[in-house]
Amino acid sequence: MKPSSSMKLLGSVILSALIMTAAGVCQDPSDDGDPPSYALDKLLLKSGAEIRGQILQEVIQEGRTYVLFRTENGGVLKLERGKVVQRSYPAEPIEKEYHAKVTDLPDNTDSHWTMYQWLSRQKGGAVRFKHERDFHLRRIIELDPTDERALNLLDFQNLDGQWVDKDLLHAYHGYVSDGGKWMPQLQLQVNQRAEQKKQAKGDRNGELKRWNRYVLGNENPSVVEKQLYALVDADSLDLVAKMMAEEKRPDVRRLFVEAIGRLPTSYAQSLLVKYAIVDGEAKVRDRAITMLQQPHYEPFQSTTIAAAYLASPENLVVRRTARLIGILGADNGPFYLKQVLVTKHKTATGNQPGRTQGSFSNSGDLQSFGAGGGPTHKLVEVQNHEALDALRIYSGQDFGFDVNRWKKWFIENHMTTEEDIRRDH
């Protein structure tokens, strides 16, 4: 069998598979019984398929434009131009030369090697003529299955003395192809789940933003709450935190706090601690405290998170934090409270140019920062009654703001000594 015949047969099979849903077969209006032996034109379909032949004419039927195209094997296709054809251009001289050469090519390994090498020498031949080069290599190993050079060029691998296509070898070892890359089946599943999760997160974020717009005009609280609870999950907390920072409506911030409180995660817990301390609205702070008292949040951990706010330069933040720690009632509470019975803070005493000024949003985030005229400050000691009240509840004692006596009480009641250890044993 001549290679030209095999190529035409292969081309016919591939062509039929690629365009069977996009094209119709019709009678050639200029059929002279002598179809061209090489491609005069190429059409690139939207599907990515490329077909060769000759453009005959364009026709309009029922308001639609069709291209009549005669293929290399003589068949005529009617292609809907708008849907199928992406672009068309004449075959270049080098392609015509190739088809002329291959028509009379002897079907033996030397001839196919000669043609492969000729294609490789052409400008950009490795890419431009990839399919043609592969055709000749595959024909070589059909004629001589032991030709290792052709096998290697086609990425065949030697498996226990048998040459196997690389794709089959990957499959043999349990690998799967995804976008041209081979990977273990488990890795593919992980990647797919990650992509699905990413897509779901994007969808969820869009729904949250729509909910925030929708709640403006909705007067049915139960519907609003149910919709929000269905949208807020661990993957959307970053967006919820951002929306909280921008939200000016206390009632909406309270709804967000309730939705966050339904999630038993450390991130949700840390957000609730933040809102229990720094939110500008008392009802939002109180709701966050209530949510923190649920069984799925450990009071010891909540207290540890809250303790970071005791270092705030803002006395109001310190006092709110002390109140929260007292309400939580965790065993580690007194350790932190005794340290903030009395704290030092800057207070304004007058105006002085060149000072920096800052302001905070309702959710406690820094909102603006600027330089200019502002008050002068001095450092003063402040007694924090919230810390004292919490220590009174913890201890049943009242040492006022005597820091040393509270430290002594803490050591006697909350620290283990060497003598205690010996007694326990």
**How is the chain split into domains, by residue range?**
3-105
> Which residue do the tokens 């140019």 mark?
353
Phi-psi region of 294 (alpha: psi -120 to 50; beta: other; left: phi over 0): beta
- Give every CB contact of residue 249 below 8 A, 6+ residues apart in sequence: none
Closest CA to 37 of 103, 82, 97, 135: 103
Total length of the chain: 425
Please state whether beta strands 175-178 and 76-80 pair in parallel, antiparallel, or not at all (unpaired): unpaired
DSSP 179: T
Structure-block tokens of residue 421: 């250890």
C-alpha 320/C-alpha 274 separation (Å) is 11
The domain 3-105 having CATH identifier 2.30.30: the answer here is: yes
**Which two structure tokens, joined as six digits, stand for 125?**
């031949």
Which tokens hold the place of 269? 């817990």
Tell me, what's the pLDDT at 329?
93
Pairing status of strand 23-25 against strand 162-165:
unpaired
Q: Are 246 and 258 in contact (CB under 8 A)?
A: no
What does the pLDDT read at residue 425?
46
Q: How many Cα neighbours within 13 Å face the side chain of 76?
A: 17
Output the pLDDT for position 421: 38
Element counts in the chain: helices (H) and strands (E): 20, 12
pTM to 2 decimals?
Answer: 0.49
DSSP string, 226-255: HHHHHH--GGGHHHHHHHHHH---HHHHHH
- Measured between alpha carbons, how far apart are the two ends of the chain, in Å? 97
Q: What is the pLDDT of residue 173?
A: 62
SS3 content of the chain, % helix, strand, coil (to 5): 55, 20, 25
**For residue 230, what pLDDT is reported?**
74
Q: Which residues is 184 bridged to in the sheet? A: 175
pLDDT tens by residue, the chain, 425 residues: 444 444 433 333 333 433 333 344 444 444 444 433 333 566 666 666 677 777 777 888 877 778 787 876 778 888 777 655 455 455 578 888 888 888 888 899 999 999 999 988 988 878 778 888 888 998 998 999 888 898 888 878 776 777 777 666 666 666 776 666 766 666 666 666 766 666 655 566 666 666 665 555 555 555 567 777 777 888 788 888 888 888 888 888 898 899 899 999 999 999 999 999 999 999 999 999 999 999 999 999 999 999 999 999 999 999 999 999 999 999 999 999 999 999 999 887 665 554 444 455 555 554 544 555 556 778 899 999 999 999 999 999 999 999 999 999 999 887 755 554 344 44
